[in-house]
Amino acid sequence: MKIIHIIIEEDSMIIVLADLHLGSQMANKSGFYEFIHQFLEPNQSDISRIVLLGDILDLWRYTNSHVLQQNLDVLTELSGLDMTKNYLVGNHDYAILSILNQNSSLVPESSTGVLDKVSETLEIQSDGLKLRFIHGHQIDYWSALSFYEVFSQAMCLVDSGDQDLSDVWNIIYRFAETLPEKTRNKVRNISHETQIAIEKELAGPLDGSMKEEKKGLQYEWELLKEVSDIEDVAHRSSRLLSEIEKFNTDWEQMLRNIDPYPNRTSLPPRLANEANQIKRKAASLTVDLKDDEFLISGHGHTPYISQETMVADAGCWLSTRGSYLKIEDEKVSIHIWK
């Protein structure tokens, strides 16, 4: 069950960042340290809250306890900041809720400030601006979210990339027992070749290398059809099946339109607005996004904002990159850290 926090704030600055992927070789840990000491610490009196939009830790195919221990320095630095911290789980740290529930000793008392407010979605009303925070996988995988949550949990529990593919899918089968019947049967009956394709396309390379190109959004969508069920989406969202089927058609057309472009920021303005509106509809199905809420997410790894459609992505901290969102005076703005 998703945990939702509703907070009323006034006259405050909120800093939002995502996708540090601490634990991965690609994480810009040194750049983030500079950001803490050169920006967050000196501005503590002005910043009321920092929202961490998931994939802060990268637990996929790494030993979870090692990732936590190796990054206690960053967690401790964040904990020492005099501001409220909210941690939203992403697909790469999806298991953090179960880890905290099962073994709180993995997180020492000094880091409680970062991990004491962990949820999957967050609502804030700040200076009259209604904000909805999510990691973002809830949009891209809306039709197969039941499966994708199971897949993400399994990837967090596999210790390394050296383990056989069967180890991943054995975990998936175990968690799949909680899925709706039609989705569960689909997962059980997919071929070994499709299993390999799903793991390769959805998981990517172990070391976080950006050199391995994916085959495109349409290809990924066709794979997800093997483990998704539209009736499940209708049931979870309490929407009519006919409405979901119509949206499914619109979504597929959107994927065909944007697939030729390398990233969101390269889309022509009209197409970008259309894609944003369709993605907002996906969020309304999975996290009950309201029309008057500004949607703030990560997951896309490219900083992006559209004031017109009220959509923003905080970007990432990979390689030499670093970006964040600032929310102040009823405005959402993007900032690049170098």
Specify the pLDDT at position 209: 42
Among 125-129, 175-179, 225-229, 306-310, whose mean pLDDT is lowest?
125-129
Most confident of 114-123, 216-225, 316-325: 316-325
Copy the structure tokens of residue 293.
């809420």
pLDDT in tens, 5-57: 667 676 789 999 999 999 999 999 999 999 999 999 999 999 999 999 999 99
pTM of the model: 0.92
Which string of DSSP letters, residue by residue, matches 88-140? E--STTTTHHHHHHH-GGGS-GGGHHHHSSEESEEEEEETTEEEEE--SHHHH
Copy the structure tokens of residue 190.
């997919």
- d(C-alpha 103, C-alpha 266), whole Å: 44
Name the more confident of 268 and 106: 268
Specify the pLDDT at position 105: 53
Specify the pLDDT at position 11: 72
Q: Say if residues 141 and 148 touch (Cβ distance below 8 Å).
A: yes
Q: How confident is the model at residue 214 (pLDDT cuts 50, 70, 90)?
A: low
Specify the pLDDT at position 111: 45
pLDDT in tens, 99-138: 777 765 555 454 457 887 889 999 998 878 999 999 999 9
Name the more confident of 109 and 268: 268
pLDDT in tens, 65-74: 889 889 999 9
Q: In this structure, which CATH number among 3.60.21.10, 3.20.20.10, 3.90.480.20, 3.30.1490.100 belongs to the domain 4-136+257-336?
A: 3.60.21.10
- Domain map of the chain by residue range? 4-136+257-336, 140-230
pLDDT in tens, 149-195: 999 999 998 876 555 555 788 889 998 888 988 999 999 999 999 99
- d(C-alpha 190, C-alpha 107), whole Å: 38
Specify the pLDDT at position 201: 87
**Which residue carries 């069920």 as its tokens?**
229
For residue 16, give the 3-state DSSP assignment. strand
Name the more confident of 296 and 208: 296
- d(C-alpha 68, C-alpha 57), whole Å: 8
Q: Residues 236-253: what's their mean pLDDT?
A: 93
Q: Say if residues 51 and 133 touch (Cβ distance below 8 Å).
A: yes
Cα distances from 47 to residues 39, 263, 318, in angstroms, run 10, 31, 24
- d(C-alpha 299, C-alpha 93), whole Å: 12
- d(C-alpha 36, C-alpha 304), whole Å: 22
Among 85-94, 103-112, 298-307, whose mean pLDDT is lowest?
103-112
% of the chain with per-residue pLDDT over 90: 64
Q: What is the mean pLDDT of the chain?
A: 88
% of the chain with per-residue pLDDT over 70: 88
- Rg of the chain, C-alpha, whole Å: 19
Q: Is the pLDDT confidence value at 205 over 80?
A: no
Q: Say if residues 312 and 10 touch (Cβ distance below 8 Å).
A: no
Cα distances from 79 to residues 57, 112, 116, 224, in angstroms, run 15, 7, 10, 38
Q: Residues 312-320: what's their mean pLDDT?
A: 96
Cα distances from 247 to residues 195, 269, 289, 309, in angstroms, run 27, 22, 15, 18
pLDDT in tens, 3-16: 566 676 767 899 99
Residue from 268, 279, 278, 262 nearest 313 by CA: 279
Q: Is the pLDDT confidence value at 245 over 80?
A: yes
Specify the pLDDT at position 210: 42
